[in-house]
Structure 1
């Protein structure tokens, strides 16, 4: 087999090698007269990656005999160690021959330098996974960048994530199998309108390793490729598929945790809603994250559940504890903390004016006479006065009564007289 890779396709091939290096220590290469397929599975057998490059992906492709081999990724990553390899290398030629004990990589650099790498290979075994998902499985399509932004709300220390899919939205929440290791509990939700071909008729829950999915997204986000996501019941694998118009495709199979019915993680309680903007193209710009202290006592404290190895069945337990802090986000919600809906065009008033009106109404109720009648003196605030009141809280209130009158108080301010100091 002999093939040549150039330009942006060389960069895509380099990114694929980097994905395998983060997930596994070995990669299996299968070549036939139609394509080159790279496959790997992690040591725990909880993540399986399959990336296929069609013959049209290469500038030239020759294969007369089917060839397969297994390479150590520690050696292979040295060949593609340059991040922007397309800006340094003009083309890369890959030569595989069963008569040679190694794979040859010939790099023609833009500065006229030629480099050759000889990577020894081992005899390989077949690596194949039979997909069990069908068209009736809960599924949706999403741009890689959108899912990438969703998952990067979680901290880098978060390893496992729980998903709750409902017909209206998808809820995300951190999962910890060890209470003592809990640091930040992150939870948020996105409406189904952010996803294409959203087909979820019944609620479903899965928990999986988010780090492997983030690694896979580092490859698919190149040219922002769309992802087809297929889900099954908890304990069954989930699949992420990508097909590019540049003649390559990728598949990620992730194992999920299996929980007994009485020990399922609790879905996030997303009571706070944020006003979203339909004009924003970035998913992260449509809402804001809020950290809310959580005082929650775990209802279960048992041994952690381990994800089922792909192709096997394993049952474990878990706890439903929440961390000391919860970050909650729910977009596509035009609701504020007063519990009423506001609209930018309602009665011709701006959203801020409606909020000010609701605030004044609330203050009228809070400062009533207590006998069911409204107080004769009402507190009314403008936007400027609210800003000044906010500054007064932070930097201290003014001492003279005139400043208090400027803050919007129309009632008299009674300042108690200080007792005379005892000079005796």
Structure 2
């Protein structure tokens, strides 16, 4: 892969890297015929972000080897190392004239060259690892609610929340109004906690098609990172969401850029038992509990069936997300399982639904790639 970024697009790339750095510790690069994709996922698999830069974004773009039937290289690098190249955005705008990104498979190096003013060239050689394709499982067409608003409106709304706030709740109220409220886990703590709630009128949004009374709770840190990028790029932000427990998808669309941010939402037992109407959007039947108990087997089965019914091309994992309903058990055992399965960095007893991530299968058939990561550890071996 070889690409050259010129002019102000270098700063746009830097903003994208800053936004991705708020989510994951590794940056996945995937050159395709449709452009260069930068992706990341957090350690708990509950947040995923993807930036796809079209070939028109670059002054020169070569996805891979010109030889026919040659497989494009996918790799990942440490986010901290890649972020260090674009850490100072004002300096990029003032001094950098163009940026060269080059993959050297034989040396396992990702070369990033910054061509600055006065003939100064800064070369960075980053070690990378080959990897499978990183892809989150989501489908915006199946979401019952959709919002579209200028990024400035949402950025001015979240600025009222403290920087240390972990989660925020987005809800649909009467008269088409929408609310943003800091999430409080225990209702008994409402009297001791300062609650900030903002109401946005329907005319402040470009598109409002939501289920009345619907609400979702998601992490604010990753959302702030996307808002910063969207506001600087002057792009409208679209929000797709469904019932609590299903992922919320934030999208940005431009002629040369496509952005997706997928966040897990806080599950709601009452909403899972009685989901609100979906305005004609039908959901396929949920898989059986046997599949829900073994997420890896469920993913394999869905991808295998898609492969057998298709035209022979490797399938893309697009099955819907769901919240597995746990079987009835002793309350003390449930508390122990929740503590053992708690996600590091999040308060305990919060039932965030982790996203299911899969790799596109190898062209030789519907079998797992040797380098595919195990996303769910076996619970049988735990003592």
Answer whether TM exceeds 0.5 for this pair. yes
What residue in structure 2 maps to residue 98 of structure 1?
Answer: 105
After superposition, the C-alpha distances for 1:170-223 in whole angstroms (9 at most, x for unaligned) are 112111336779653111211111111211243201111111101111111122
Q: Work out which of the residue numbers 354, 364, 375 in structure 2 matches 1:309.
A: 354
What residue in structure 1 maps to residue 266 of structure 2?
Answer: 257
What residue in structure 1 maps to residue 184 of structure 2?
Answer: 176
In the superposition, the TM-score normalised over structure 2's length comes to: 0.67
Determine if the alignment matches structure 1 residue 50 to structure 2 residue 56: no
How far apart in 2 are the matches of 1:116 and 1:44? 33
How far apart in 2 are the matches of 1:72 and 1:83? 19
Relative contact order higher in (CA < 8 Å, ≥ 6 apart): 2
- Kindly state the Cα deviation for residue 310 of structure 1 after the two structures are TM-superposed: 1.1
- Kindly state the Cα deviation for residue 263 of structure 1 after the two structures are TM-superposed: 12
What residue in structure 1 maps to residue 319 of structure 2?
Answer: none
What residue in structure 2 maps to residue 359 of structure 1?
Answer: none
How far apart in 1 are the matches of 2:62 and 2:45? 33
Task: Please give the residue correspondences for 1:313-324 in structure 2 after superposition, counting only pairs within 5 Å.
Answer: none
Determine if the alignment matches structure 1 residue 213 to structure 2 residue 223: yes
User: 1:177 touches 1:304 (CA, 8 Å); kept in 2?
Assistant: no
How far apart in 1 are the matches of 2:265 and 2:143? 19
In the superposition, the TM-score normalised over structure 1's length comes to: 0.61
- Kindly state the Cα deviation for residue 123 of structure 1 after the two structures are TM-superposed: 2.2
- Kindly state the Cα deviation for residue 17 of structure 1 after the two structures are TM-superposed: 1.0
After superposition, the C-alpha distances for 1:54-96 in whole angstroms (9 at most, x for unaligned) are 1110011123332210000111111112222121111110111
How far apart in 1 are the matches of 2:78 and 2:135? 19
What residue in structure 2 maps to residue 75 of structure 1?
Answer: 81
What residue in structure 2 maps to residue 384 of structure 1?
Answer: none
User: 1:33 touches 1:63 (CA, 8 Å); kept in 2?
Assistant: yes
Unmatched tracts of structure 2, length 5 or more: 66-71, 274-347, 358-383
User: 2:31 touches 2:64 (CA, 8 Å); kept in 1?
Assistant: no
- Kindly state the Cα deviation for residue 262 of structure 1 after the two structures are TM-superposed: 9.4
Structure 1 residues 232 and 135: alpha-carbon distance in aligned structure 2, compared to 1, 3 A threshold: closer
What residue in structure 1 maps to residue 372 of structure 2?
Answer: none
- Worse overlay, 98-107 or 134-143: 134-143
How far apart in 2 are the matches of 1:26 and 1:241? 21
How far apart in 2 are the matches of 1:3 and 1:45? 30
